[in-house]
Structure 1
Amino acid sequence: MKTQTLLIEIGTEELPARLLNNISLNFYKNFITELNILNIKYKKISYFSTPRRLALKIQDINMQEQYIEIQKRGPSIIKSYDKNGYLTESAISWLKHYKINIKDTIRLKNKKGEWLLYKTKKKQDKIESLIPKITELALKKISSMIPMRWEVDHIKFFRPIRNIVMLLDDQIVSGKIFNINSNRILHNHIAYKEQKIIINHAKEYPNILFDKQNILANYIIRKEVIIKEIKETIKKIHGYIEKNHILIDEITSLVESPIVLLANFKKKFLKIPRKILKYVIEKQQKCLPIYNDKNDILPYFIFVSNINSNKSKIIISDTEKVMHARLSDIEFFLKNDRKTKLENHLISLKNVLFQNNIGSMYEKTLRLQHLIRWITQYYPNNLEDATRAAMLSKCDLITNVVCEFPELQGTIGMYYALENQEKKTVALAIEEQYLPAFSGDILPKTYIGSILSISDKIDTLSGMFYIGNIPSSNKDPFALRRLALGILRIIIKQNISLDLKELINNSLSLYNKKYIDDSKLSDQIIKFFISRLFYWYQEIGYSKNIIQSVLSYKLTQPIDINKRIKAVSIFQKSTNSESIMLCIKRIINILEKEKQTLSTKINTQLMEKKEEIILFNQINNLYIATKQLFLKQKYEDIFLKIKDLEKPIYHFFDNVKIYHSNPKICLNRLILLNSFKKIIFKIADFSYLY
């Protein structure tokens, strides 16, 4: 078997750092899929990524000629031959279309029937000619973000592609990818892009990049090197860094020749509030703050340079100047902002647009106060603080800090509120109103922060639906899906007794000045919420059937929905649930066949067998025992009691003939079974569960 090493390197302009690893992994998986489709064998595939390259190295790829099997299925045998055994027009037409002789066909048989079938083998194109096609397909199928267009022919990829290397051992694979010819010149470091790195053999990759320009093409190795050097560097000042996998991943994606360096800033900047200081160092400058053993930030920071230079002192000095400028700006903005109390910015919110056609941030603040008062009607002790938090919630949008650094909205509001002697619960709520900010983000911890977050999100969501900014299947520019899921997660996690329908109606009423019937819009928003719930429960591991069994009831209380789904899931997973589920299934199957009304009362005088009397008493006891449990939504306890009916139901089926010759007795027994079904179907629709 003839095998070779295949190298593919796609040289690009700077790829988006946060998506680099995902783009690279997608390229790798797509390429494997394409190879499998064409039945091309190989030993191992390694993938590489830096800010300016995506690469694959395929070891021992089988270069021998391959044959692919072609199958053409024709009409069914019934339609292929007439009653005299002659070919029909349908069969003749199929044979002519594919230039097939009837003698070369066979018959395909399966459970569904029998058809004419033609099978042949065709020599596949040479693998050398397939490689460019496979590569381009694998790149085009990457689905991490919307691609950009460049050049006159409007080619689309995440960033412009500038260079293509395709080598089979030491030979260039001729061909084009995105109209760029393959060569053997590797994409160099951005600082040395004029210098050529010529690769003679595919096996030299990726070592040749490191030998020539200290480029670590392997993402995982690059990350390990960065972490190791960070640990060694911070030992010098006896500090430590917090675990921040997201930032480390982003830094790894920003560099390809990493050099870890230690820098410092002036101690006076330590007076900047901790979260803001941390934000500037991490988010703005992509550096790592250093802490002492008391968890205080030290006047040092770690940064990773992308240039392996002998002039590291100059790089450190330049980086320190940039950091100093950033921190000086924050210091200046904080000083100016503190001249005005937070609440004094409220009137200025009239000049800040929330959204076209739905008013200003001042109007939004008034709506938040109304919603907060409505939500806290059952918790009057929190009303004053909650209303205060709602009033101050958007005031920091006017501040200099937020105008310069919008991501600090909420956080800066919290600090200013504390400085203005506001209650801690009020200040924390101002920050927590924006949580969760992204998928999987933490939730608000305080009650007031939770209800302020719910109010803020439902106000935005209702307003957008009200003016017609509704998400489509592939577009959600205002992140309304995230807002809806955030509301649901908070309600469930914080166990807040809210009904979605009431919440939505209250929110919509604040937009509807003419008091037009909002019922259709309300129903539309509820469906939107329920669809989010469905996908969320699937994501966290619940069975699709279990979710449908509960959501099919069109309930609108998230807490109630959550309790039911959890209870049904626990019950179904329990070791002894199978037998009672078989009983339930049998009952449902019997009742589904019946067209007569089963709503009348059970007549005990028509009971002939002791088994039906026992079952009747047990069902009656179950009804009484679960009445309060249903009111308290204790569904897990209800399932425990349902389990007690397993034996009486089995004895009933073993000894009682349901379809009695006397229609009244038959109907009575069906009503008895239906009375049990009514109780268990109060929890979920069990017909989805088998």
Structure 2
Amino acid sequence: MTAPLLIEIGVEELPPTAMLDLADQFASGIVAELEKNGFQQADYQRFATPRRLAVLIDDVADAAPGYTETVQGPGVDVAFDANDQPTGAANGFARSLGVTLDKLVIEETSRGRRLTGQREIPGRSLNEHIGDVLTQTITALNIPKRMRWGMNTDSFVRPVHWLTVIHGSTCMPASLFGIASDHQTRGHRFHHPGPIPLDDATHYESSLRHTGYVLADPEKRAAIINEQVAHTAAECDARSISDDTLLAEINALVEYPTALTGRFDTQFLELPREVLIATMEHHQRYLPLEDSAGSLTNSFITIANVDSAQPELVASGNERVIRPRLDDALFFWNQDRTRGLASLVPKLAGVQFETKLGNLADKQQRVARIAAYIAPLFELSTGDTERAAELAKADLLTEMVDEFPDLQGVMGEYYALNDGETADIARAIRTQYAPVGGTGAIPDTALGRNLALADRLDTLAGIFAVDKRPSGDKDPYALRRAALSVVRILIESGSQLDLNAALGYAVSIQPLEAPSGTVDALRMFHVERLRSYFLEQGTAPQDIDAVLAVSSHDPMDISNRLQAVSHFRTLPDAARVYEAHKRIRNILKKQGDTDNAPTTSHYQQAAEKQLGEMLDHRALNKDALIDYSDTLQSLTHFAAPLAAFFDEVRVIVDDANLRNNRLALLGALDREFCRVADISRLAS
């Protein structure tokens, strides 16, 4: 017989950022354990609220069928004596299987010839097995931070208060953390704190919603929140600007959402937009509203976890909570503008960057030097680059950034403009931390890109110089992200930079002597990020290998070469050329590569003469082949001559002069085929 199976664990409030992941793990874990143990099942639905994890599985069998297991016994030399009579080992093996000796057979196994027999494994009822399923699932959950409570020696993400296990209409016996299962769930903490009996597993979701004031399905709950937010914002003639991350967090904090509108004094609208949003979102999880012109209003939406008979009192309470937060922010704003950024620069000397690399003032001076070094790349004056670098970190010492660390750079722009700095310098201070993450936008000005690059090059060079480079999954200085940002800024802005030289300069100005090989290690570190970047863009791995074999110092140049290689591979004769190049490479590898130029007078056969003439012609017209795509496309003209050469000409001949000249010809072809990329690496 099959019936729906409901399993629910009731807990104290779950960490909001972990709720959905835990729900997914829990549901899939239960399903996997049942399947592993032979229980037939159908589709399932997982549920999650701040106070529960649950799964409802359609049509779970009440018993797993029995099966026959083949068991290997002792080897024949142990199972039988010299007279081929069964020994005690053979008899014991038969008894262990519950069969007679004549039911055993001798089979050839990976361990030699052995006695084997069949063991009948009886079916097991779900009633007997459900406890093990639960225990195995809970044990396997990936919970970053577990906790213990009461006298329990086991741990979980939060203390467990109830356990519900129902198969059809039957409560199944199970236990977790000393709590026995029953046929009841629990409703909303305020609206229905008592138990809710369940006469059938399928009534779980509807009973919670209609009796318990709980929307158990997180997707349905999210849809209701979105609908309420849109409706409430429209009533305020505004729109919500909060992102999906905040809405997901709010969804993980409520069981019965109710959208309410709150307001604050209009005097606070003089605060920067980002400060208002941070105050509402980060501190209170309120949803800011903006008008049709894109300006913030003095209204916000809060999602209450209660359906109050007096919603205005709930809204008023939220308004009282946010007032002191905004008062503090306004005080910080006025205080910071009074002091100005320049007055904070000397205090950077009191902030440690890294023990061996000095303080933030020391770092700022190095960043200014690197920014001046790469300034020609962006056609910038050293005056602007040095001023931007000087002020870049000053906002870290402001009251506002101390309260809202995520606003570093953002507040620097506001304060720089307030102090009379140019818009370009102010913008560079704001965007110095861009790109944020792997997909964020790069700085949108040349000065911003210059500052962002200089800051990251200094950090990378310094941390590598003190030998604290990333290891395994440990990267405390976020160097992988920094190197990826360097790569992205250069490529996505179309800026060509000899990265090897820039890294060498950054290492040379560090306050200590770097270990030998530091610059090479940094270059390879960036090459790894380059490879990852292009793979994520969908570039073929062999294209990347082909280009990196000949160019690894300039990310933008590498990008240009990759585009050319990608196009080249689509040409009709391209495969014939790079397959021939691979053959050339194999011959040279065996015979020894040569830098000698082939001698025209030593050509004997038409095929080798034709190849030599084509090379001579390319040498005379090399200035016309400066475009990577054109250079590679022109290689397709070698397809037929190469085929003829390998059909008609034997390279390894007894005549040393002839052999060496043909090897020199192949060497010259190899060098020509590697001008843009090592196209032999495109071959399978």
Q: Given the two structures, how large is their TM-score scaled by the length of structure 1?
A: 0.85
Question: Could you tell me whether the CA contact under 8 Å between 1:108 and 1:117 is conserved in 2?
Answer: no
Partner residue of 2:357?
A: 358
Amino acid aligned to 1:541? G
Partner residue of 2:282?
A: 283
Question: Could you tell me whether the CA contact under 8 Å between 1:372 and 1:451 is conserved in 2?
Answer: yes
Aligned residue runs from structure 1 range 136-215, under 5 A = 136-143=135-142, 146-151=144-149, 155-177=154-176, 181-191=180-190, 194-215=193-214
Alpha-carbon distance in 1 for matches of 2:527, 2:139: 34
Question: Could you tell me whether the CA contact under 8 Å between 1:53 and 1:187 is conserved in 2?
Answer: no
Amino acid aligned to 1:214? Y
Partner residue of 1:525?
A: 522
Partner residue of 1:652?
A: 645
Question: Could you tell me whether the CA contact under 8 Å between 1:626 and 1:638 is conserved in 2?
Answer: no
Distance 1:672-1:395 versus aligned 2 partners, 3 A rule: same
Question: Could you tell me whether the CA contact under 8 Å between 2:573 and 2:639 is conserved in 1?
Answer: no
Aligned residue runs from structure 1 range 282-431, under 5 A = 282-379=281-378, 381-431=380-430
Amino acid aligned to 2:442? L
Aligned residue runs from structure 1 range 16-35, under 5 A = 16-35=15-34
33-42 or 304-313: which moved more? 33-42
Alpha-carbon distance in 2 for matches of 1:9, 1:521: 55
Aligned residue runs from structure 1 range 268-279, under 5 A = 268-279=267-278
Post-superposition CA distance 1:614-641 (Å, at most 9, x none) = 2333344455656675xx6x43333222
Alpha-carbon distance in 1 for matches of 2:437, 2:573: 40
Alpha-carbon distance in 2 for matches of 1:607, 1:118: 73
Distance 1:579-1:102 versus aligned 2 partners, 3 A rule: farther
In the TM superposition, residue 393 of structure 1 has moved relative to its aligned partner by 0.8
- SS of the residue aligned with 1:4? strand
572-581 or 457-466: which moved more? 572-581
Question: Could you tell me whether the CA contact under 8 Å between 1:508 and 1:518 is conserved in 2?
Answer: no
Partner residue of 2:81?
A: none
- SS of the residue aligned with 1:59? strand
Partner residue of 2:596?
A: 600
Partner residue of 2:492?
A: 493
Aligned residue runs from structure 1 range 3-18, under 5 A = 3-18=2-17
Match of 2:606 among 601, 607, 610: 610
Amino acid aligned to 1:608? Q
Aligned residue runs from structure 1 range 216-227, under 5 A = 216-227=215-226
Distance 1:8-1:464 versus aligned 2 partners, 3 A rule: farther
Distance 1:357-1:588 versus aligned 2 partners, 3 A rule: closer
In the TM superposition, residue 416 of structure 1 has moved relative to its aligned partner by 0.9
Question: Could you tell me whether the CA contact under 8 Å between 1:164 and 1:183 is conserved in 2?
Answer: yes
Amino acid aligned to 1:644? H
Alpha-carbon distance in 1 for matches of 2:595, 2:112: 49
How many equivalent residue pairs?
665
Distance 1:66-1:649 versus aligned 2 partners, 3 A rule: farther
Alpha-carbon distance in 2 for matches of 1:627, 1:146: 60
In the TM superposition, residue 114 of structure 1 has moved relative to its aligned partner by 11
Alpha-carbon distance in 1 for matches of 2:330, 2:640: 75
Question: Could you tell me whether the CA contact under 8 Å between 1:622 and 1:641 is conserved in 2?
Answer: no
Question: Could you tell me whether the CA contact under 8 Å between 2:196 and 2:212 is conserved in 1?
Answer: no
Aligned residue runs from structure 1 range 529-544, under 5 A = 529-544=526-541
Aligned residue runs from structure 1 range 40-55, under 5 A = 40-55=39-54
Partner residue of 2:633?
A: 640
Distance 1:35-1:254 versus aligned 2 partners, 3 A rule: same
Partner residue of 2:87?
A: none
In the TM superposition, residue 684 of structure 1 has moved relative to its aligned partner by 3.5
Question: Could you tell me whether the CA contact under 8 Å between 1:147 and 1:156 is conserved in 2?
Answer: no
40-49 or 529-538: which moved more? 529-538
In the TM superposition, residue 321 of structure 1 has moved relative to its aligned partner by 1.4
- SS of the residue aligned with 1:337? helix
Alpha-carbon distance in 2 for matches of 1:636, 1:131: 65
In the TM superposition, residue 441 of structure 1 has moved relative to its aligned partner by 2.5
Amino acid aligned to 1:686? S
Runs of 4+ in 1 over 6 A off after TM superposition: 71-76, 98-103, 113-119
Partner residue of 2:670?
A: 677
In the TM superposition, residue 508 of structure 1 has moved relative to its aligned partner by 3.1
Alpha-carbon distance in 1 for matches of 2:335, 2:383: 30
Partner residue of 1:89?
A: none
Amino acid aligned to 2:515? D
Distance 1:433-1:73 versus aligned 2 partners, 3 A rule: farther
Alpha-carbon distance in 2 for matches of 1:129, 1:554: 65
Question: Could you tell me whether the CA contact under 8 Å between 1:622 and 1:642 is conserved in 2?
Answer: no
Distance 1:424-1:165 versus aligned 2 partners, 3 A rule: same
Alpha-carbon distance in 1 for matches of 2:113, 2:631: 54
Partner residue of 1:83?
A: none
287-296 or 524-533: which moved more? 524-533
In the TM superposition, residue 135 of structure 1 has moved relative to its aligned partner by 4.4
Question: Could you tell me whether the CA contact under 8 Å between 2:40 and 2:64 is conserved in 1?
Answer: no
In the TM superposition, residue 174 of structure 1 has moved relative to its aligned partner by 3.1
Question: Could you tell me whether the CA contact under 8 Å between 2:378 and 2:450 is conserved in 1?
Answer: no
Amino acid aligned to 2:599? N
Q: Name structure 2 gaps, 5 residues minimum.
A: 79-83, 85-89
Post-superposition CA distance 1:412-462 (Å, at most 9, x none) = 111011111111110011111122233432221112112212222333333
Q: Name structure 1 gaps, 5 residues minimum.
A: 81-85, 87-91
- SS of the residue aligned with 1:277? helix
Alpha-carbon distance in 2 for matches of 1:315, 1:404: 27
Q: CA RMSD in A?
A: 3.7
Distance 1:299-1:243 versus aligned 2 partners, 3 A rule: closer
- SS of the residue aligned with 1:322? helix
Amino acid aligned to 2:301? I
Post-superposition CA distance 1:576-617 (Å, at most 9, x none) = 64444443444444444x234544332333333323322333
Amino acid aligned to 1:643? T
Amino acid aligned to 2:556? I
In the TM superposition, residue 390 of structure 1 has moved relative to its aligned partner by 0.8
Alpha-carbon distance in 2 for matches of 1:70, 1:535: 47
- SS of the residue aligned with 1:255? coil
Alpha-carbon distance in 2 for matches of 1:148, 1:288: 31
Distance 1:69-1:292 versus aligned 2 partners, 3 A rule: farther
Distance 1:589-1:126 versus aligned 2 partners, 3 A rule: farther
Question: Could you tell me whether the CA contact under 8 Å between 1:367 and 1:510 is conserved in 2?
Answer: yes
Alpha-carbon distance in 2 for matches of 1:685, 1:71: 54
535-544 or 287-296: which moved more? 535-544
Distance 1:295-1:181 versus aligned 2 partners, 3 A rule: same
Distance 1:252-1:75 versus aligned 2 partners, 3 A rule: same
- SS of the residue aligned with 1:150? coil
Post-superposition CA distance 1:481-521 (Å, at most 9, x none) = 222222222222123333333333333333334xx353333
Question: Could you tell me whether the CA contact under 8 Å between 1:623 and 1:679 is conserved in 2?
Answer: no
Question: Could you tell me whether the CA contact under 8 Å between 1:546 and 1:689 is conserved in 2?
Answer: no
Distance 1:13-1:349 versus aligned 2 partners, 3 A rule: same
Partner residue of 1:104?
A: 105
- SS of the residue aligned with 2:440? coil
Partner residue of 2:680?
A: 686
Alpha-carbon distance in 1 for matches of 2:482, 2:218: 34
Alpha-carbon distance in 2 for matches of 1:325, 1:521: 51
Alpha-carbon distance in 2 for matches of 1:331, 1:107: 84
Alpha-carbon distance in 2 for matches of 1:406, 1:282: 14
Question: Could you tell me whether the CA contact under 8 Å between 2:16 and 2:249 is conserved in 1?
Answer: yes
552-561 or 605-614: which moved more? 552-561
Alpha-carbon distance in 1 for matches of 2:386, 2:639: 53
Distance 1:657-1:249 versus aligned 2 partners, 3 A rule: same
- SS of the residue aligned with 1:256? coil
Distance 1:463-1:336 versus aligned 2 partners, 3 A rule: same
